[in-house]
């Protein structure tokens, strides 16, 4: 299969040899199928979902367990492809089809009664939608994660970053408020994502206020999210505010600058 030039060639090779495959062999086939249509191809195409799940069906028939791994393999490939569509002109035309394939995979995950999606699987799907710039789809996944309480600090950052990139500060604020009311405690990792949301929306004063008065122990990286977006003359005033409200952070920033 590795030498196949097209998906159809790969499927032909697979059908001829599937009777000798064990579980690891099936997973290898799925990995190849997830990438063969676009990786190192002059005319890249989105993976054919029907081919992929034909192999999954055969895997089930052979009485091998079908776990979340089969979805993670496909989502990983689609995420890599989504990244290519954002960076390479030669892949830009595949963005719509990559989103369609991601939505189809999402539907299959939802309908698969044999699995209970874990945080890792939901995060992978959420990140795919973020990279594809599909704000409504990302919110749909987040709502499922929030209702089922199947999320972690990484999930929170992915959805806040998605909101920031979509210009959705109001939605980010709603998500943050809802999380806090439910008892979720932001750590520095989450605060950095929130402060970046504020900064990109032009709410620099609010970002500075939150860092100086609400965040328990802000670090230089967090401060640089604000400082890095400021003109030199404004930066002086902000450093003075940090010195007044967060003297330890001010010292750390000076030490970092002189290192």
Whole-angstrom distance, CA of residue 218 vs CA of residue 246? 8
**Ranges under pLDDT 50 in the chain:** none
Tokens of 230: 């400021």
126 close to 138: Cβ distance less than 8 angstroms? yes
- Residues 6+ away with beta carbon under 8 Å from 213: 245
- Per-residue pLDDT of 5-57, as tens digits, reads 889 999 999 999 999 999 999 999 999 999 999 987 778 999 999 999 999 99
- φ and ψ at 240, to 5 degrees? -65, -40
DSSP state at residue 76 = H
pLDDT at 2: 67
Three-state DSSP state, 202: coil
Whole-angstrom distance, CA of residue 125 vs CA of residue 76? 9
pLDDT at 39: 85
Q: Specify the pTM.
A: 0.93
Q: How many CB atoms lie within 10 A of CB 40?
A: 7
Whole-angstrom distance, CA of residue 147 vs CA of residue 40? 40
Helix ranges (DSSP H) in 91-231: 95-111, 119-131, 135-148, 153-165, 169-181, 188-200, 204-213, 220-227
The domain segmentation of the chain, as residue ranges, is 1-115
pLDDT at 13: 93
pLDDT at 3: 74
227 close to 235: Cβ distance less than 8 angstroms? yes
- Residues 6+ away with beta carbon under 8 Å from 197: 160, 163, 164, 169, 172
- Residues 6+ away with beta carbon under 8 Å from 129: 102, 135, 137, 138, 141, 162
pLDDT at 128: 98
- Per-residue pLDDT of 199-222, as tens digits, reads 999 999 999 999 999 999 999 999
Residue with tokens 């920031």: 164
């Amino acid at each position: 299969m590795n030498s196949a030039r097209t998906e159809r060639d790969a499927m032909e090779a697979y059908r001829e040899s599937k009777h000798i495959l064990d579980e690891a062999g099936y997973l290898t086939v799925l990995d190849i199928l997830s990438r063969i249509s676009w990786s190192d191809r002059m005319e890249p195409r989105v993976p054919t979902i029907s081919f992929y799940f034909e192999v999954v069906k055969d895997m089930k028939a052979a009485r091998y367990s079908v776990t979340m791994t089969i979805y993670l393999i496909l989502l990983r490939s689609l995420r890599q492809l989504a990244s290519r569509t954002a960076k390479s002109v030669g892949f830009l035309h595949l963005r719509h089809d990559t989103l369609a394939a991601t939505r189809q995979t999402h539907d299959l995950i939802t309908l698969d009664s044999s699995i209970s999606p874990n945080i890792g699987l939901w995060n992978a799907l959420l990140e795919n939608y973020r990279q594809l710039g599909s704000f409504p789809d990302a919110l749909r996944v987040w709502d499922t994660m929030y209702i089922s309480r199947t999320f972690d600090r990484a999930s929170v950052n992915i959805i806040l970053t998605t909101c920031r990139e979509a210009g959705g500060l109001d939605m980010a604020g709603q998500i943050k408020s809802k999380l806090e009311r439910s008892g979720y405690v932001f750590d520095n990792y989450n605060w950095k994502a929130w402060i970046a949301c504020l900064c990109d929306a032009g709410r620099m004063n609010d970002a500075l206020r939150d860092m100086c008065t609400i965040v328990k122990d802000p670090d230089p990286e967090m401060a640089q999210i604000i400082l890095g977006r400021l003109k030199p003359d404004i930066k002086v005033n902000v450093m003075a505010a940090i010195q007044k409200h967060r003297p330890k952070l001010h010292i750390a920033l000076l030490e970092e600058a002189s290192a």
